[in-house]
Structure 1
Amino acid sequence: MTKLEMYCVTNKRLNFLEDCNYNLSWVGLDQCPKNYINSNNKMNIFSKEKYYSELTFHYWYWKNLLDLNSKNWVGFCQKRRFWSKNRTNVKKIYDTTSVKQSIIMEPSEEWENFEVILCDPININNAKKIKMIKRGFKSLVKKPSIFFDENKQSIKFHFDMHHGYGNLDKAIDLLEDDDKKDFRKFVNYNTSFNPHIMFISKPKIINEWFSKLFKWLEKCETVFGFKNLSGYDTQRLYAYLAERYLSYYFNKNYRVLSWPWFFFDETK
């Protein structure tokens, strides 16, 4: 029977998870706590953490820990977002006891005929009109119908609003030809995507994904660099790009099952 190896990426200590079998994966600037996986050794991109966010650990895992001979499921979550054990409508949990009772600990039988598990998708075509005017003005001038038609408030429109107008198109231009056309179509015509750079899959597929992703992001660095990336909009640009690309890439190439997740913030 296959097992589930879950890696929870965090820059804060997660005391409530330290006695379960999750692999707590450290990307914080403070000293790595005992029994957490430190991503600031061996082959790593730790110096880019504030731009790459949880991808910092994903890269470390890919280069140093990934076992291509393993048949186990391998999953990634993050410090405030977790995979749910059951199909439930609960999106937010407020105490640590409930978290430990709700997180997934082993593969579900429902996964048997699928290759990749992704977070249930989120819709992004529900922005307030005033925000669209304030942050999406360039897009609205170019295509005014976006303002009135929710079906045109696409992933691209949302990205242009929040992470730099035109940045997504510049990044797509750097993709290989087999993805460039399809990914552009995906972001131009879809109004939802699977969020949070969270996924569960098998090692060979994970290796293919990381190989494709980090090759692309390295090309993106030649265009965007790091010096001018700051604030909510663009500091984590590479993570935002990966988040949209992940949803497209897995759905295009593999049998995908969307799975529930929930939010929990221990500090609140």
Structure 2
Amino acid sequence: MENKVFKILVVHHKKDKVYKDDIYTPIHAGKSLSNLELDMIGDDTGYNISEKNPYYCELTALYWAWKNLKGVDYIGLCHYRRYFDFYDEVPSVYYVKNESIDKMDSFNYTLPETIKKRLIDGEVVVSAPKTMNKTVFKDYCKKHVKGDISLLRKTLVENSSESYVKAFDAVMTGNKYSPYNMFIMSWNDFDKYCSWLFDILFNLEKKLDLSSHSKYQQRVYGFMAERLLNVFLVANNKKLDKHSVVMFHENADYKRYSVIKQYFGLMIKRIQFIFNKNTSDYRKII
């Protein structure tokens, strides 16, 4: 284990608190489009898709790592205010834990030896699942553009094996998924994931017209990847090590989110999942 190299990208896009050590590596996503100097590596060197950041979000940092990082055995991704809670330091009844930004300096970011061992044994670290009272498909359609997810499935059928299509259907008709594009996995799994993911998204990009999408909805490829990570893990039958995500907020945001969101997170988990109706709605796109 001593000779294994672990890296976790911390994706930034604006000035904020920065945590960095031998494992955590801050990276400026969308650097080619930014006038900011954040005193960290950018996603605009070497082989890169930095200019696609308005549409691909943190995936431009992911692509940069895939094409340019060398000598890494295990690779992960988190966000400048979203980190894995490896020690369950923040009590939660929800998949995400809201905390004041004042606590960032004292938070324990250390990747435990026990988790390193699980990674070496082939497990993949992901965020704790977001459980809903609707299918992943209906949740996507409610938040984003329904036609996009339908076109994504068609692209999968055309460019992936049947096992990935079946995994996609299983995820979409289920009622939970691990969000935020956060993970830690072996470089071999990462290489396989990125080869598959970007092949799908680049093919989809040729077909998808974003001219009528709002600026927010143009971030479509980042939104899709949150679901596609789950599809990849299901298709490859990966054993998962799930951890809650701590989200650090400014004090005003923290007061607004912490109690209310935690409460409703618990309520959502208690709502009966109406499986048959949601599944039939999804089947209409197939």
Deviations, residues 200-246 of structure 1 (Å, cap 9, x unaligned): 011111111111100000011012144333233x2111011110010
Match of 1:174 among 155, 169, 172: 155
Correspondence 1:32 to 2:32: no
- C-alpha distance in structure 1 between counterparts of 2:211 and 2:122, whole Å: 41
1:118, 1:198 within 8 Å by CA — same for their partners in 2? yes
Q: 1:238 aligns with which of 200, 221, 227?
A: 221
> d(CA) in 2 for partners of 1:211 and 1:23?
22
Query: What value does the CA root-mean-square deviation take over the aligned residues?
Result: 2.2
Q: Pick from 126, 129, 138 the counterpart of residue 121 of structure 1.
A: 129
Find the aligned partners of 1:23 and 1:242 in 2 and give their Cα distance: 21
Counterpart of 1:183 in structure 2: which amino acid?
F
Q: Which residue of 2 aligns with 1:7?
A: 9
Q: Which residue of 2 is the match for residue 102 of structure 1?
A: 107
* Aligned pair partner of 2:55 in 51, 54, 64: 51
Summarize deviations over 1:2-41 as a string: whole Å, max 9, x none. Answer: 453221001012334257862110014133322x111112
Percent of aligned pairs sharing the same letter: 24
- Equivalent-residue separation in structure 2 for 1:19 and 1:185 (angstroms): 38
Aligned to 2:83: 82
Distance 1:15 1:186 in 2: 35
SS, match of residue 251 in structure 1: helix
Q: Matches of 1:44 and 1:200 in 2, distance apart?
A: 21
Determine which of 63, 68, 73 is the counterpart of 2:67.
Answer: 63
Instruction: Give per-residue Cα distances to partners, 1:115-160, cap 9 Å, x unaligned.
Output: 21000011232xxxxxxxxxxxxxxxxxxxxxxxxxxx21111111
| Alpha-carbon distance between aligned partners in 2 of 1:62 and 1:242, rounded to the nearest angstrom | 15
TM score, norm. by length of structure 1: 0.79
CA contact (8 A) 2:126 2:178 kept: yes
Counterpart CA distance in 1 for 2:243 and 2:113 is 10
> How far apart in 2 are the matches of 1:226 and 1:267?
36
- Structure 2 CA distance for partners of 1:182 and 1:106, relative to 1, 3 Å: closer
Mark the runs of 5 or more structure 1 residues left unpaired by the alignment: 126-152
8 Å CA contact 1:5–1:74 kept in 2: the answer is yes
Change (3 A) 1:107 1:228: farther
* 1:256 lines up with 2:219 in the alignment: no
Q: Per-residue deviation at 1:43? A: 1.1
Cα drift, residue 114 of structure 1: 4.3
Kindly tell me the number of residue pairs found equivalent between the two proteins.
Answer: 234
Distance 2:185 2:21 in 1: 24
CA–CA separation in structure 2 for the residues paired with 1:66 and 1:237: 29
Deviation at 1:44? 0.9
Per the normalisation by structure 2, the TM-score is 0.75
In the alignment, what sits opposite 1:130?
none
Matched, 1:216 2:200: yes
Q: Which runs of 4+ in 1 moved over 6 A?
A: none
- Structure 2 residue matching 1:104: 3-state secondary structure: coil
